[in-house]
Amino acid sequence: MSVVFLTESAKEHMSQMLEEHQRNAVKLALQGGGCAGFKYDWTLEDAPGKDDEVIDLPNGKFLIDSMSIMYLIGSTVDYKKEVFGSYFDIRNPASTSSCGCGESVGF
């Protein structure tokens, strides 16, 4: 069982991003900051960090930063397309608050 569940929509979009940018992995981490205390940080990588959690994608990897794993256990990552934009939606059962922008979260 994975630390984080990825919907098919999220997997498809991550795979498209990797192909488009010729990278090997999409990485999710938490950083201090944002109006709720932490913010989700997305990057494209060539290789996993030493202790990163690795989830296979059809044409690459999804990485979870080793220092962020404990905050993301049980989360679901979805990719949503809406009229005014598209975005990764993270449903995190450990969060106690979030910002209206959806990029900042508190624990």
* Contact assessment for residue 53 and residue 3, using Cβ atoms and an 8 Å cutoff: yes
- What is the arrangement of strands in the sheet containing 53-57, beginning at the earlier edge strand? 53-57, 60-64, 25-32, 38-45, 104-106, 97-98
Where are the domains positioned within the chain? 5-106
pLDDT cut 70: percent of the chain above it: 96
Report whether pLDDT(96) > 90: no
Fold topology of 5-106: Hypothetical Protein Aq_1857; Chain: A; (2.60.300)
pLDDT band of 97, cuts 50, 70, 90? confident
